Every structure is written in structure tokens, then in C-alpha cells.
Structure 1
Amino acid sequence: MDRFGVNLMTFPLAGCTLSGAFAHVPAAFAPAASAVFNQAGALGIGVVFQPGTCADGLDFRFEVPGLAPIAGRLLGWADGRPDGASELTVQAASGLMAVHGRASGGARPLGVDYVSTLAASLALQGTFAAAIGQLRGSGHTRVDVSLAGAATLAIGQYLAGATAPEGAERLLPGCTSPRERPPFTSADGVVFELETLDAEPWRRFWNGLGIPGELAGKGWSAFLLRYAKAVSPMPAELMEALSRLPYAVIAERCAEAGLSICPLRSLIERLEDDDLPLLLEHGPWHFTPGTSGLPPTTLGGRGDLPLSGLRVIESCRRIQGPLAGHLLALLGAEVIRIELPGGDPLRGMPPLVDGCSVRFDALNRHKQVCELDIKSARGRAELLELASQADVFLHNWAPGKAAELNLDHADLARVNPALIYAYAGGWGEDARLHAMPGTDFMVQAYSGVARQIARRSASAGGSLFTVLDVLGGVVAAQGVSVALLKRGLRGEAGRVDSSLLGAATLLCTTELLALRDGKAPVEPPVAGVYPTAAGLLAIECRDAAEVERLRYALDCPLDAEPALRDEQIVRCLASRDAQAWQSLLREFGLAASAVREDLSAVHEDGRIAPCLRTEAYTLVKSPWSFT
């Protein structure tokens, strides 16, 4: 406890203040403002609601005792244009809808405030990083972030695949059947996910259902494509085999084969979980105190970026952990990536540039690589030596592996008491869930995210775009920044845990709080993707005034009944193409955007182009701009 009685372990940034006109932002930025408010409160930051409005985004001010105030600004488009930006229109213009639509029957919204949540986390992380930089001698006092920057960050690996110099992937919306992809459906109507990280349980399961090995092998190859390409074109025979069996029988066969299974749960079901109240109150992070009494500031590293001079050791695979390391590198940290002798196998996944997978390069290009066999005594000793000179150790190993290798928090703290130990996991603190692989798609199913996406975007269930891996990576990097700031301010190191389940809860916080309090979640009166004379158009109206402006713009009396209103909108839009309607509706101050379906052409949009850089393939720039 501090002298005010505040628990600094529970609220790591107690004593800091965030002020802004959070209650008076443009309607399109309300989800982002709500996410900023919720996250700040979870970290113990005092939130001050100021009068006034910001006409084109969200402005706020982060104050840390003893430091210069840091101004944060969250805009819509990367070029600073004030009009037409919203959750839906940025999803449309950035290509995010196109990626989600590859396996969902066509370009369509995710149906959750994904870009807004992501951008809010990035905006706060930028201000935390700026504060760390000030403690270390830099003079950063402003950070700008955009919804467009958050959206392009989310699809960086897909942009890389679509723009590779050789073997570029042309995976357009609807390129695979929405009926022959996970999740699966049983004879009694239960929708569920299957998961395994090993081919052998998969083979045993399908062989037990009478599926020939060759066909099961084709299914396995398709199943693995989810993470890299957001498609999973399963053989129809596999889907049909499951549709003939009741869920209880399928679950029994899974247990026999060693395959994990999870039904798609609703947010109502999620409300009953014991871990939820803590996640809603304290956010997706768990901070464990470590060595205290350290020097309150660590000077040095006066670079152009706020984390210049800090060193991060990263031992992660797939997306969540590597993305967290990538973000810390973009903030200026020196990131040393631990790989197995011979390198990460994902380096060889096509398409390639200079012999390396472009998808892998997109997340790891700013890192140094150190190849170590951490299962050997020599490899562990070398890792401990690296950690002794580092500021952060970040990993996403399977639960229990760190303790098994004697590389847990206590082990590394002995060689470096000032180290921040960060774990980016799947399920978080609930050990009961650790029997299931903590992967994006299983957590989507368990958390209620998959059902939300299915209900609102008319998909089978969830997204094959790695929704939670990306948000989980941002959340993990954000937690590291909080821990570093706490170390700089209070002289206390420690451990920070985050998880995909925590990220899923963060994404659905507004809906969960409304359901907990017996309120119906508020949904925009108009939010959809509509056909035009040529191309698709995303339109979002978040209040009655915007719906009225839409009526004038279309010169059409819009019905109060959503289904009838959508039919009227479709009839009106048939007279012009998507680009023409985008221009016209923006003149009326409405959020509207043509849907970008071909990722290779995303850079042609001036609202998105500043987020991107073209080298051998299209790269996503840092989402932060510091001054």
C-alpha cells in the first residue's frame, strides 16, 4: 500500500492520471474512448473527464508525477483526414474485412469493435513508452496513433503474403467454402472447435471415425493453413462425418484420440466463469512484484525512440509472442530472439524473399537472432547469461515448461534482480483450462468471441483471421511497457502475465459489462456492408442524427425495422459504384468506405498508404508517431 492506501501491486500505475473529453468524442470513436477508459482504470490510472469535444478523434493527456505531460491523439485515417473513419469503414478500407472474408463467404465485418480496442491499447502503450523514455533522458511528449495504423498492423503478415515478389498469394474474400471450414457442427446442432498441435491425435481421431488416412492427411494440411492464410478448406467428407454424430460421441472420440474439443460458448455462459470478475476489474494483465529497492530510474539510451537502449530477450513462436517482441522493437528496444539450432522452421514457409518467409520476416525483421538449445545445460546457461544483461525476458512456452527448464521468474531473477519477466500465454490463471491448447481458435470458442463474430458477421463461427493472437501480442507488449514504467518510477521489478483469454475478455468488455448489469448491448443503428453498382460499401451510423443524414444523402425514407431498412439501402446504392457513394456520403459527414478486397492494392488508398512501406513486399510501419 502507498500512503493513500492504494494497492500498488494490484494497480501498477496508481498515482498517474489520464484526462480527456472521453464522454464527448465523435460517435465513431466512442468504442475506442470506452476501451481507453476501461484499460486505464484497470491499471489504476486516475481518469479525469474533461469538458469540450474533439471533432476528429480522441485527444487525451497522460501525466506521471515528476515527468512532463504526454499528449496522446487517436485519429481515424493515417493521413489525418477527419471524415469517414469508424470501426467498420477502417476494417473495410484496410483489407481486414477481406482477410476475415476469405473463409466466410465474402468480405464482411468482424462484428466486434476490434480495431477500436487494438488502437486504444496501442495509444496507451505509446504514452507509457514515452514516459519510460523521459525517465531515461528522452524528451518525447506526444504520441499519435490511428485506427488505420492499428488495422494494418493486424493484417501485416497477410499483406506480406499478398505482395511477395514471387509466389504472392491471391486469396480473395470467398475463395473457400464457408460450409467446409472450422468450426464444426454435430448432429444435435452443437458448434465446436477441434485443436491439436500434433498430427498423430488428428490421424487417430479421424481413423476412428472411418476416414481413410489420405483424406485425414488432406484435412490436416488444410487445418494448418488457418494460422498462416486465414483459410482452412476441409474435405467435405470430414465435415459430413461429424454432422452425423451427436456432440457427446464426438467428445468421447476426441478424448480417446487425445484431441481437444470446445463448444462455441456465448458471452452469457462466459459470465459464469470464476476468472471473469478479476479480468473485468484489472484487465488482461497479472503483475507479480519482484525485487524492490532498485534505482528508481535507469538512464541511458537517448535514441530517437522511447525504448532505445533497453534490451529484450524473446523466446516465442507463432504470432502472439513474436508480435509483442516486434512492437517493443518498433518502440526502440534491442530485441534478441532465441531460436532452436538451425532456426525457426517457420522461416521456410512460402512465399519467400531472400530465402525467408515473408510472413515470418514481417514479425521478426527488426530482431537479432541467437540460436540456443534451451533443453541442454549449456543452452540454459547461455540464456541465463543473456538475461543477466537484459531488461525484459519474454516467452510464450507451454504451461509448466519454464519451471521444468529451471527458467522461471525466480530462476532469472537470481541472475538479474532488475529483470521484467513476461509470459504471453493462452489461458491465463485458470489451470483447469490448461489441458486444452491455448490457441487463438480454441480461446475464441471458449471466450464467447467466436459466437459474437458468428452472430454479427453471418459467419459459421469465429474468424480464421488470428483475431486474438494479434490483440494478445499487443496486450503482452503493453504489459511489458507498464512493468518497465513501474520499475522506473518505483524501483520494483517483477513479472507480468497476459493471455489470449485476457485479450478476448478485453475485446468483449463493453458487452460483458452490459450483460452483467442486465442491459442490452448497444449496437449501431446502421452498420453493414452493402452491394453497389460496382463493389461493396461499408456504412456505419452510430446514432439517430447520423441515420437522418444518411436518409438525406440517399434521398430515401429509411424504415425503423433493420431488415427493411437494409433492403432500402441496397436498392438506393444500386445506382452508383462504391467509390462514388464513398465520396458522396463523406460529404454528408458519414462514415462510409469502399471495401478493399485485394490486399495487393491496399497501398493505393491515400487514407491507408502512410501506414505502409514498399520494399521487397509491403511492410507495415510502426503504429506510433512520437514527437
Structure 2
Amino acid sequence: MTAGERLPSVFSLAQIQPVSAIVDINNFFSNCAIVGNFQHASPALQPVVKALLFQCRALGIQVENHSLMDAGTNLPLTFITPDFESVECRFSFWSDSEQRAGCETTLQAATGLMSVHGRATGRAQPIPLPYLSTVSATLALQACLATALARRRGLGISRSRVSMASAGLLCAGQYLAGATTREDAEEILPGHHDAGLRPPFRSADGVRFELETLSPDPWRRLCDALGLEPVEAGRGWQSFLQRYAKGICPLPERLHKRLAKLSFAQVTRICGEAGVALCRQRTIEERARDSDVEELLRAGPWQLHPAIPTDTPLPPPREQDQPLSGLTVVESCRRIQGPMAGHLLSLLGARVVRIEPPGGDPLRGMPPLVADCSARFDALNHHKEVIEIDIKSAAGRAQLVELVSDAQVFLHNWAPGKAEELGLDYRQLAAASPGLVYTHAGAWGQLDGALDIPGTDFTVQAYSGLADLIGRAGGHGGGTLFTALDLLGGILAAQGVLLGLLSRSFCHRGGQANTSLLGAATLLSQSHLHACRMGTALLEPALADACKNLVIENLRDLPQQSHFNGDLHTDSYTRVTPPWRFS
């Protein structure tokens, strides 16, 4: 089937209703379909297929197998919208050759993810989950949604391409930026730091746990209570603070030893008195029994809430080769998850207006710097317009509402209840912009407000059972210090925006599209959770610690790999190009 063709009679999609029969977003996705030769995809492609079909079925998108489509080293897909228009997406392992074989482990090795994960584990080794397969499937579905939206808006785009190589490089992008600056580039290699000094911690009664604080004062109080010297505490804080950026966290040995002499109850009390949050590292079996898991496995990592209809159309495109051209996104986010979502939307052609506090985001100053800005920060934000606004002031909030009045998307990652406290919740902003897609890139999803734990990558890994899965398979007892959930969470938030925009283009309704780090963790571990809930053994094998000859240990070597020529661009540092190709 070629893009733009009407639905042929060979497909049994009689349940799809004409677009005129669709009345709201709740019916919309069940009137879409995705077609591919899923049953005959190669074993290496099966984790991608599994992740893709999980997402489609959770959204209600009809899945049709077509045995005459290709099923070799690449996976052609056809996405059909309720008006019976079709668009194509071709997924492959490598961007430069659709025919070259690959697999999850090969691409983790080749794109530097094994190296980044291995910085804190003592050696380069795979993340023992279908991480790139899940990211690739999510990007492929994004490509389908974006291309369908482009056609709906009258753009001459009908095809897209996505590769696992481009997905891996996207996820390594911040680390690659830090490793490739012209001055003061980082060189952090696997095996150069003591894996025994990284979190998690272990109490005297054998409980593994993570600590979290985003402020130095609680850290200092905790170290004082444990009898650490101020110099030790200061070094530990710098390492603890920078673990998100560098993927390493060697902490004072005495900190580990002092905590290891205390029971978990004692640690809980001391941390509470110091103001440091604590999260016990739970097993995947425990997570499978949680009340929110059933809904996440049924409906996926998005919470879509439709709004009342609007007559306001989407603005016309300005460029013909970018699906979101002419659309405006207002982003008020910090750290990684939300900025990654805004970054992807900017790569799709949207105008992204980033709100920063007066004086700018403090992360702009984190070395290594390029033109007085952190290379890591710039890697996620260089396409965005920046406006400094004090959203705590009435004048600042009024300025933000005015910005949103000309936007189609508002994206934030504020703490639970903050939007309501500021008077900047969905109801308030949708009044200024009818049809607005309001997206929250959150932490705990349905459990927001129920858990008194900061929702960061590493606490969510611990709570969700991912850290236990990764630690058991890798032999180091804890999760990955690669920011796996922040990145996947940001990719899912961008996908939530696309789901909202595409449904709005048909149904004339905006609404809320919320995602979370815990939702991302559930998506990554859905096979394990299903197995636990069914009381069966997981049949899919763990990733082999293979492909050692393909491992790129020094990320500075990535731009020299000829098979990444179209995926990377180097000027003041090496940037990752958009993971999709549209035509």
C-alpha cells in the first residue's frame, strides 16, 4: 500500500465509522488503524512490534496484520485515519541502510547507551530491558500521528522513516553534547569509577533504598546526623547533584557504611528529620500488585481528557516539510522530561516558547559550556524561543496567559497542585485558547499527591521495580544512572501532544493529555508486570551481554562512525538530528 491510497478492500476494517459519525475524542482512536506484517517480523524486530502494538491497543487503534508487507530487517507500517486516508512509516535498525541487520543489544552498544549505563556499573553493559525497542516504537507511532496531522492540515507529507539508531542517539544526546565540546569536554568512561560507591544504599536489615533531595541543606543535615565531615558532605553533594547529568555518583564510602549500620526504620527517621526523601527499592512483583497498574496496562501511559467542542481551527502551516509548522507550544518545564518533550515538538516544526524564571534556568550554567551556555542544556533547548517570566507574580501569570492565547499547546511539569495554586490549570488556560491541548509531563500519574516522595527518575525507578530488575540482571543491585525514565517520559509527553492535536483536527476538541515517569516505567516493564499478574514466567530472554566489539565507550568517537553521518551534526558540539525523516 502506498501513502495517500484509499483503504483497499482486502483489510477487514468494517468497524471504522465515517469521520462524520465521530463525536468526541473517546471514539476517535478506535476509528484509526495500523497495518503491518507483525506476525512475520524477525525475532530482532519482535520487541519493537510488541511495544508498538501495546501502545496501539491501549489507545484503541485497530491492529491489522498484512502478510504481503515486508517483514525482514525493516518494518513498513501503514496508519489509517477515520477519513480512510493512509500514511506510511518505515522502521529500520539503521538510518543509512534499511537492509542492515541489528537488534536491541547491537544498537545499545553502537549508539553509546551501553557506555553511559556502564559508567556507574563498572563496565559497559546493556540496560537489561527493551529500552531502545520501546523508544523506537514510540517514535514510529509519533511519526504516524505527525504525518497524519500534516495531511489533515494540507501539507504534502505522506511518508516517514524512523530507525533504532536515531532513537539511541536521541537518548544519548545530552551525554554526547558534554563529550564533544571544543573546550573542557567530558571523558567519562565505563570502569573508571567504583561501582560500589553509587546509590542505592543498603540498611543493616538488608533494605535497598534511594535518597532524594534537590536542595543542599537537607543533604548537609543528613550528613551531619551521620557524622560526616563537612568536606566529605560537600564532595558527596556535588556528586549526588550531578548524577543526572553525568551518569555517575561516587559518594563517600563513610556515607554508605554509616547508613549500612542502621536499620531501615532508623534511616527513615533520620532522613525525615533532615528533610531528605527516601524511597525503598521495590520488586517488580510488589509493583504488579499496586492499584494503578491494571489501568496503566489497559489504557497505556497517557491520560486523555476531552474538552467541549471548539470552532477555532488549527492555524495553517508555514513550511511544507514539517508536520507541526505554524503551531505554537508554550513550555514551562525544568530538568529533562519536559524539555525533551518540547525539544521533539520543535524538531517536528512547532514554534516552542520556553518560559524561564527571571535570570534564566540555573542549569544553563552547568559545564561544559558553549558560548556561556551548558552544552547539555542547549542540546534540549537550542530550537526554542525563551521568555523570562515570574509566574509567581500576578503580572507574570497574566503574561503567560497572553502567550497561551496564541498557542495550541501548553506543556508543563509542575508539581501536583501547582497549576491550580497559580490559577494556570486547564480550565483557566483553555478559556484563553479554545481547543488548547494542555499537557502535564508529571511524575506519579494517578498516584500524584498520594506519594510523599519527589518524583524523579531514580525514585520512580526504585518505586516501579525497574531498579530491582536492572540491578538483578546487571549484578550491581540498583537501577541505571542513565536518565532512562526522564527521556522516555519526555518522548511520551510529546506523543500525548500529538494524540491531542490529531484528535482535535478531526473532532474539534482540545483537552488534557497527561503522562508520567511512572507511566513510562510501566510501559518499559509491561511484559514483566503481565507475567507477574498472570503468575507465569517471562518467556522473553534477558539481553545478552554481547556485541562488545561494537561498544562505543568514548562518546567522542560517535561522530566518526560513518553509519551515523546523517544522524549527527557537529559545530560547537555534536548535536543529534531529528529522529524522523518526512517526505
TM-score by length of 2: 0.94
What secondary structure, in the 3-state scheme, does the structure 2 residue paired with 1:118 have? helix
In structure 2, C-alpha distance between the alignment counterparts of 1:297 and 1:382, rounded to whole Å: 22
Shift of 1:3: 8.0
Amino acid at match of 1:107: A
In structure 2, C-alpha distance between the alignment counterparts of 1:79 and 1:477, rounded to whole Å: 25
In structure 1, C-alpha distance between the alignment counterparts of 2:346 and 2:113, rounded to whole Å: 24
* Alignment equivalent of 2:565, drawn from 590, 609, 614: 609
Instruction: Give 2:298's aligned residue.
Output: 281
Instruction: Give 2:35's aligned residue.
Output: 19
Amino acid at match of 2:552: R
Any idea what the Cα deviations from partners look like across 1:257-297, whole Å, max 9, x if unmatched?
Answer: 22111111111111111111111111111011213143566
Amino acid at match of 1:625: R
Shift of 1:189: 1.5
- 1:93 and 1:596 in contact (8 A); partners too: yes
In structure 2, C-alpha distance between the alignment counterparts of 1:300 and 1:605, rounded to whole Å: 36
- 2:127 and 2:470 in contact (8 A); partners too: yes
What secondary structure, in the 3-state scheme, does the structure 2 residue paired with 1:613 have? strand
Any idea what the Cα deviations from partners look like across 1:227-285, whole Å, max 9, x if unmatched?
Answer: 11001110111111111111121112112222111111111111111111111111111
- 2:149 and 2:501 in contact (8 A); partners too: yes
Amino acid at match of 2:224: N
Shift of 1:610: 2.4
* Alignment equivalent of 1:333, drawn from 350, 353, 356: 350
In structure 2, C-alpha distance between the alignment counterparts of 1:276 and 1:525, rounded to whole Å: 23
Q: 1:526 to 1:353 in 2, by over 3 A?
A: closer
Instruction: Give 1:161's aligned residue.
Output: 178
Instruction: Give 1:62's aligned residue.
Output: 79
What secondary structure, in the 3-state scheme, does the structure 2 residue paired with 1:291 have? strand
Shift of 1:147: 0.5
In structure 2, C-alpha distance between the alignment counterparts of 1:604 and 1:28, rounded to whole Å: 26
In structure 1, C-alpha distance between the alignment counterparts of 2:396 and 2:543, rounded to whole Å: 57
Shift of 1:37: 0.3
- 1:68 and 1:141 in contact (8 A); partners too: no
Any idea what the Cα deviations from partners look like across 1:369-395, whole Å, max 9, x if unmatched?
Answer: 111111111111110000000000000
In structure 2, C-alpha distance between the alignment counterparts of 1:12 and 1:273, rounded to whole Å: 30
Instruction: Give 1:201's aligned residue.
Output: 218
After superposition, where does 1:334-353 map in structure 2 within 5 Å?
A: 334-353=351-370
Instruction: Give 2:67's aligned residue.
Output: 51
Q: 1:47 to 1:323 in 2, by over 3 A?
A: same
In structure 2, C-alpha distance between the alignment counterparts of 1:501 and 1:119, rounded to whole Å: 19
- 2:157 and 2:321 in contact (8 A); partners too: no
Instruction: Give 1:320's aligned residue.
Output: 337
After superposing the two structures, state which structure 1 stretch, 244-253 or 268-277, moved more.
Answer: 244-253
In structure 2, C-alpha distance between the alignment counterparts of 1:487 and 1:249, rounded to whole Å: 52
* Alignment equivalent of 2:537, drawn from 517, 520, 523: 520
After superposition, where does 1:233-272 map in structure 2 within 5 Å?
A: 233-272=250-289
Q: 1:448 to 1:375 in 2, by over 3 A?
A: same
Instruction: Give 1:471's aligned residue.
Output: 488
Q: 1:11 to 1:437 in 2, by over 3 A?
A: farther
Instruction: Give 2:576's aligned residue.
Output: 620
Amino acid at match of 2:563: R
- 1:144 and 1:624 in contact (8 A); partners too: yes
In structure 2, C-alpha distance between the alignment counterparts of 1:595 and 1:109, rounded to whole Å: 10
Any idea what the Cα deviations from partners look like across 1:169-205, whole Å, max 9, x if unmatched?
Answer: 0000122110001111111211110111111222222
Instruction: Give 2:390's aligned residue.
Output: 373
Amino acid at match of 1:188: D
Structure 1, unpaired ranges of 5+? 530-536, 539-577, 579-593
In structure 1, C-alpha distance between the alignment counterparts of 2:23 and 2:155, rounded to whole Å: 29
After superposition, where does 1:80-159 map in structure 2 within 5 Å?
A: 80-159=97-176
In structure 2, C-alpha distance between the alignment counterparts of 1:381 and 1:344, rounded to whole Å: 20
Q: 1:117 to 1:336 in 2, by over 3 A?
A: same
Amino acid at match of 1:283: G
Instruction: Give 2:430's aligned residue.
Output: 413
* Alignment equivalent of 2:189, drawn from 169, 172, 178: 172
Q: 1:11 to 1:431 in 2, by over 3 A?
A: farther
In structure 2, C-alpha distance between the alignment counterparts of 1:473 and 1:526, rounded to whole Å: 25
Q: 1:236 to 1:358 in 2, by over 3 A?
A: same
Cα RMSD (Å): 1.8
- 1:135 and 1:299 in contact (8 A); partners too: no
* Alignment equivalent of 1:36, drawn from 36, 52, 66: 52
In structure 2, C-alpha distance between the alignment counterparts of 1:487 and 1:496, rounded to whole Å: 12
Amino acid at match of 1:41: R
- 2:356 and 2:387 in contact (8 A); partners too: yes
Any idea what the Cα deviations from partners look like across 1:467-490, whole Å, max 9, x if unmatched?
Answer: 000000000000000000010010
Amino acid at match of 1:228: A
After superposing the two structures, state which structure 1 stretch, 511-520 or 351-360, moved more.
Answer: 511-520
In structure 2, C-alpha distance between the alignment counterparts of 1:371 and 1:303, rounded to whole Å: 31
In structure 2, C-alpha distance between the alignment counterparts of 1:443 and 1:6, rounded to whole Å: 38
Any idea what the Cα deviations from partners look like across 1:21-66, whole Å, max 9, x if unmatched?
Answer: 1121111110000011000111111111222451112221100022
In structure 1, C-alpha distance between the alignment counterparts of 2:350 and 2:60, rounded to whole Å: 26
Structure 1 stretches of at least 4 aligned residues deviating more than 6 Å after TM superposition: 2-7
Any idea what the Cα deviations from partners look like across 1:591-618, whole Å, max 9, x if unmatched?
Answer: xxx2111100012223333211111111
- 1:305 and 1:331 in contact (8 A); partners too: yes
Shift of 1:513: 1.5
Q: 1:354 to 1:521 in 2, by over 3 A?
A: same
Amino acid at match of 2:353: I
In structure 1, C-alpha distance between the alignment counterparts of 2:162 and 2:358, rounded to whole Å: 38
Aligned length: 565
Instruction: Give 2:416's aligned residue.
Output: 399
After superposing the two structures, state which structure 1 stretch, 91-100 or 12-21, moved more.
Answer: 12-21
In structure 2, C-alpha distance between the alignment counterparts of 1:313 and 1:525, rounded to whole Å: 41
After superposing the two structures, state which structure 1 stretch, 313-322 or 432-441, moved more.
Answer: 432-441
- 1:104 and 1:460 in contact (8 A); partners too: no
In structure 2, C-alpha distance between the alignment counterparts of 1:69 and 1:315, rounded to whole Å: 34
In structure 2, C-alpha distance between the alignment counterparts of 1:7 and 1:96, rounded to whole Å: 44
Q: 1:49 to 1:376 in 2, by over 3 A?
A: same
Q: 1:626 to 1:63 in 2, by over 3 A?
A: same
Percent of residue pairs identical: 48
TM-score by length of 1: 0.87
- 2:128 and 2:542 in contact (8 A); partners too: no
Amino acid at match of 2:335: R
Amino acid at match of 1:422: T
- 1:79 and 1:606 in contact (8 A); partners too: no
In structure 1, C-alpha distance between the alignment counterparts of 2:365 and 2:217, rounded to whole Å: 23
Instruction: Give 1:499's aligned residue.
Output: 516
What secondary structure, in the 3-state scheme, does the structure 2 residue paired with 1:429 have? helix
Q: 1:148 to 1:316 in 2, by over 3 A?
A: same
Amino acid at match of 1:40: C
Any idea what the Cα deviations from partners look like across 1:550-577, whole Å, max 9, x if unmatched?
Answer: xxxxxxxxxxxxxxxxxxxxxxxxxxxx
* Alignment equivalent of 1:595, drawn from 551, 558, 583: 551
After superposing the two structures, state which structure 1 stretch, 294-303 or 344-353, moved more.
Answer: 294-303
Structure 2, unpaired ranges of 5+? 1-15
Instruction: Give 2:311's aligned residue.
Output: 294
